[in-house]
Every structure is written in C-alpha cells, then in structure tokens.
Structure 1
Amino acid sequence: MPNKISPGNNSSSPTWGTYWGQIIFYFFSK
C-alpha cells in the first residue's frame, strides 16, 4: 500500500492530485 500523503515529497505531482488519488484508493479499498 503506497503512502503518498506526504506534502512536498513529490513536487512533480500537485497536492490535489494526490488527495483525489487517496480518496479513490480509499473507495476502491472499501
């Protein structure tokens, strides 16, 4: 399970992109 909730860790990806990615992963995990 990849953990990409660290802000500023990946400058190439926008914060909102990672945020939505986590939400989608959460729903799929359910």
Structure 2
Amino acid sequence: MSMACRACGESRLQPILSLGKTPLANRLLTA
C-alpha cells in the first residue's frame, strides 16, 4: 500500500507523530 498526501499528492511522506493503529474518521465499524 502506498500513501500520498491528500492535499498535494506527494508520495514521499515523513511520519512526525505516531498514534498507533487508529480507525480513519468516519470509517468506524458498526456492531
């Protein structure tokens, strides 16, 4: 899986903050 900036499309991203594994906004699983 390749990640890219949603604003400009740049693919050379550098992580600056790790929150661990978290769900994407508005993508929560329902029971």
Category of TM-score, reference length = shorter chain: under 0.3
Q: TM-score, normalised by structure 2?
A: 0.16
> In terms of Rg, which structure is larger?
2
More helix per residue: 1 or 2? Answer: 1
Q: TM-score, normalised by structure 1?
A: 0.16
